[in-house]
Structure 1
Amino acid sequence: MKIAFDGKRFFNNGSGLGNYSRDLVRILATYYPDNEYLLLNNKKSERGKEILALPSVSFIETSKGKLSRQFKMGKDAQNANCDIFHGLSGELPLRWNEKSIKKIVTIHDLIFLRYPKYYGFFDRKIHFWKFKKAAEQADLIIAISEQTKADIIKFLKIPENKIRVVYQGCHHSFKENKPQEFLESVQDKFKIPKEFILNVGTIEERKNLLNIVKSFNNTEIPLVVVGKKKEKYFKKVERFIIKNKLQNQVFFLENVSMEELAAIYKLAKIFVYPSVFEGFGIPVIEALFSGTAVITSNSSSLPEAGGKDSLYIDPNNIDDLKSKILFLWSNESERKRRVEKGLLYVQKFSDENIAKELMKVYRETITI
């Protein structure tokens, strides 16, 4: 098979959709190297260069011109005689020629419809139009969780038989054993306390950092936070920290590489992630692969990611969050039990399993 990908996120995004795109191409090229994988974009970047070096992966510079991604990328894939075009971030090109090509689109979440308050009016309208159009065009849709599948059926009015659930994995760094010297060097570099609880994710309202910080008030537990700051919400969190004199208890880290982040996960005693809503929740998977106990929300897709041995809380209940943090923090045997069970559970998100599920969808699409 010859499979084309919309490479915009692969080359342009440092996290999130970029990580999904790079991991997907990497694992397919690793486990199914007999196929050809073509990344289409208007230019390359340094991101993913080690994946582009794989023998079965190549780059095609798309036709120039305004809106070329929408109007020319699909035709470029057809002219390259691709069997399948896979849109990796909820979009497909709008124009195609008469050549035969199957179309797949991955939809990660429909949070802009479930929680419209987090998005501007015009952003919501544009997102809805693009996602609805892509879902209707596609021969098959990949949803990254059962939660997202249910939302596609509910909000986009797409029949269930057109949707396949294929979970995400995470970067291989989180699955590797790190030398103790490297862990210690990361701890020293970022001046991280010896024992701490970790939160990773964009610092925005939906991710719920303010409730985490509130739950740490009147404790002596250190909190380490890694994530891009959305300024307005971060200011709200910062005001609470200053008002309650938590400056020496909450540590914000910046310019953390993937390898360093993997080390920080392994150094943490607990990972806490009380997000209001997630299409899947990759940080939960990263923590489980790292051998770190997880506390996360009991809603949306997060129980799918965390499995039955993570600890679940109501994301809006600060007392619930605080009591479960204190319980795990002071109970080493319980942490160890949950870590061991979590490591067993998270193997369902291994690269090999995900590659198999993706290839199953590609082969099915060819027969439609």
Structure 2
Amino acid sequence: MKNRISYIFRKPDPKYKSIEALFGVIARHLKEDVQTDAIMMSYAGGGLSTLWKNLANFQKKAYHIYHITGDVHYMALRTGRKTVLTIHDVQSILKTSVVKRLYLKLFWFWLPAICVSRITVISEFTKNELSEVIPFAKKKIRVVYNPVNPSFQHVAYTFNKIKPTLLLIGTKSNKNLERTLRALEDISCTVVIIGKLLEEQLTLLKQLNINYVNEYDISFEALQHHYRCCDMVCFASTYEGFGMPIIEAQAVGRPVLTSNLGAMKEVARESACLVDPYKVDSIREGILRLINNDHYREDLISKGSLNIQRFQASTIAQDYLKVYNEISNT
């Protein structure tokens, strides 16, 4: 008899679809091995009221393995021992006031870690961070990388050295947009920025006289289009739990510039141009090297094609299956 996996998701929101898309891919690749269904939360937010309402509305099913896919970690208080909890990162949750940090540690980390049988994280970097928050549950942690969506396929292109198009994903503070823009000053290029720009960022773009296109709340198909149409992807983030744009760009066959630290370095290895995200000069040197050095750029594209083999959906799905089997056998 096949195990039945019930995936627990946050309340649907058209602005936030990455977790749902990720586990949709996983579920499709496990259809021969397990039965799956999805449970969506009815309430959004992280306040006590939302927490209690989601917990109260939950109807536990017998014989199911539950997989809390992220964001609503506290649901482990209802799902019980036969549960996998995926934690995508640590810092973004805990960057807040002392009182709220204690509240989040209690309901998003400490209590869930006690309740569940297994915790999966999406990088060794996140595992190390999480181990400091829940040292008592270190033995429960397993690293299972994010898969690259099979919809991202290699598309041949000719690099535009005269005026390349640079794709930048994300506008939040950790995405390091301001330093990347300063690094582009006086470089002939078109910048495509995905994510809603702040007034300060718009002002900076104007000051630097950068030719740019900005889109946000776009469809998955539109995102794919931008990867296919760009010449390179710049992702000099200061913090990530994983770094999906790295492998998405490499799947399409585009060179990547990313940070030489944390999960980005772990995911990219030697297949991207690694720069110091805190130094504008380092970012600028990396961008210019990718534009001007044909051999270096083509070498990174080739290495990127090899690198993404580690993140094939079929491989990652089997890694999750091993975790589910660990639980069913206990």
Are residues 95 and 271 of structure 1, via their aligned partners in 2, closer, same or farther at CA, if it must alter by over 3 Å? Answer: closer
The structural deviation recorded for 1:25 is: 3.5
Are residues 140 and 255 of structure 1, via their aligned partners in 2, closer, same or farther at CA, if it must alter by over 3 Å? Answer: closer
Q: Which residue does 1:87 correspond to in 2? A: 68
Percent of aligned pairs sharing the same letter: 23
Taking the TM superposition and a 5 Å limit, the aligned residue runs for 1:309-348 are: 309-348=271-310
Taking the TM superposition and a 5 Å limit, the aligned residue runs for 1:43-62 are: none
**Is 2:5 aligned against 1:6?**
no
Alignment equivalent of 2:174, drawn from 194, 206, 228: 206
Are residues 325 and 42 of structure 1, via their aligned partners in 2, closer, same or farther at CA, if it must alter by over 3 Å? Answer: closer
Q: Which residue does 1:139 correspond to in 2? A: 117
Are residues 81 and 13 of structure 1, via their aligned partners in 2, closer, same or farther at CA, if it must alter by over 3 Å? Answer: farther
Q: Which residue does 2:134 correspond to in 1? A: 156
The structural deviation recorded for 1:269 is: 1.5
Alignment partners' CA distance in 1, 2:259 and 2:193: 17
Alignment partners' CA distance in 2, 1:219 and 1:22: 35
Q: Is the 8 A contact 1:71 1:94 kept in 2?
A: no
Alignment partners' CA distance in 1, 2:146 and 2:173: 24
Q: Is the 8 A contact 1:85 1:101 kept in 2?
A: no
Q: Residue by residue, what CA displacement relative to the aligned partner does 1:57-104 show, whole Å, maximum 9, x if unpaired?
A: xxxxxxxx983422342xx23xx324311111150426549xx85011
Taking the TM superposition and a 5 Å limit, the aligned residue runs for 1:113-124 are: 116=95, 119-120=96-97, 123-124=100-101
Alignment partners' CA distance in 1, 2:41 and 2:87: 23
Q: Which residue does 1:37 correspond to in 2? A: 36
Alignment equivalent of 1:262, drawn from 224, 241, 246: 224
Question: Which amino acid in the other structure matches residue 81 of structure 1?
Answer: A
Q: Is the 8 A contact 2:23 2:69 kept in 1?
A: no
Q: Residue by residue, what CA displacement relative to the aligned partner does 1:285-313 show, whole Å, maximum 9, x if unpaired?
A: 11111111011011110012212121111
Unmatched segments (≥5 aa) in structure 1: 44-64, 181-192
Q: Is the 8 A contact 2:26 2:313 kept in 1?
A: yes
Q: Residue by residue, what CA displacement relative to the aligned partner does 1:299-331 show, whole Å, maximum 9, x if unpaired?
A: 110012212121111111000110110111112
Unmatched segments (≥5 aa) in structure 2: 43-49
The structural deviation recorded for 1:221 is: 2.1
The structural deviation recorded for 1:205 is: 1.4
Q: Which residue does 2:189 correspond to in 1? A: 221
Q: Is the 8 A contact 2:81 2:117 kept in 1?
A: no
Q: Secondary structure of 1:173's match?
A: coil
Alignment partners' CA distance in 2, 1:35 and 1:324: 45
TM-score under structure 2 normalisation? 0.86
The structural deviation recorded for 1:204 is: 1.7
Q: Secondary structure of 1:289's match?
A: helix
**Is 2:91 aligned against 1:111?**
yes
Alignment partners' CA distance in 2, 1:329 and 1:291: 15
Q: Is the 8 A contact 1:72 1:95 kept in 2?
A: no
Q: Is the 8 A contact 2:77 2:115 kept in 1?
A: no
**Is 2:229 aligned against 1:238?**
no
Q: Which residue does 2:47 correspond to in 1? A: none
Are residues 13 and 135 of structure 1, via their aligned partners in 2, closer, same or farther at CA, if it must alter by over 3 Å? Answer: farther
Alignment partners' CA distance in 2, 1:157 and 1:66: 25
Alignment partners' CA distance in 2, 1:288 and 1:123: 38
**Number of residue pairs the alignment of both structures matches:** 316
Q: Secondary structure of 2:75's match?
A: coil
Q: Residue by residue, what CA displacement relative to the aligned partner does 1:131-178 show, whole Å, maximum 9, x if unpaired?
A: 222122111100110011101111222443211000002333323659
The structural deviation recorded for 1:123 is: 4.6
Q: Secondary structure of 2:62's match?
A: coil
Instruction: Report which stretch shifted further, 206-215 or 264-273.
Output: 264-273
The structural deviation recorded for 1:216 is: 0.8
Q: Is the 8 A contact 1:4 1:82 kept in 2?
A: no
Alignment partners' CA distance in 2, 1:66 and 1:128: 14
Are residues 14 and 213 of structure 1, via their aligned partners in 2, closer, same or farther at CA, if it must alter by over 3 Å? Answer: same
Question: Which amino acid in the other structure matches residue 238 of structure 1?
Answer: L
Q: Is the 8 A contact 1:313 1:320 kept in 2?
A: yes
Q: Is the 8 A contact 2:166 2:231 kept in 1?
A: yes
Q: Is the 8 A contact 1:20 1:168 kept in 2?
A: no
Alignment partners' CA distance in 2, 1:278 and 1:95: 27
Q: Is the 8 A contact 1:105 1:140 kept in 2?
A: yes
Are residues 357 and 66 of structure 1, via their aligned partners in 2, closer, same or farther at CA, if it must alter by over 3 Å? Answer: closer
Q: Is the 8 A contact 2:51 2:74 kept in 1?
A: no
Instruction: Report which stretch shifted further, 130-139 or 352-361.
Output: 130-139
TM-score under structure 1 normalisation? 0.78
Q: Secondary structure of 2:306's match?
A: helix
Question: Which amino acid in the other structure matches residue 4 of structure 1?
Answer: S
Aligned CA-pair RMSD: 2.6
Q: Is the 8 A contact 1:143 1:165 kept in 2?
A: yes
Alignment partners' CA distance in 2, 1:3 and 1:31: 10
Q: Secondary structure of 2:303's match?
A: helix
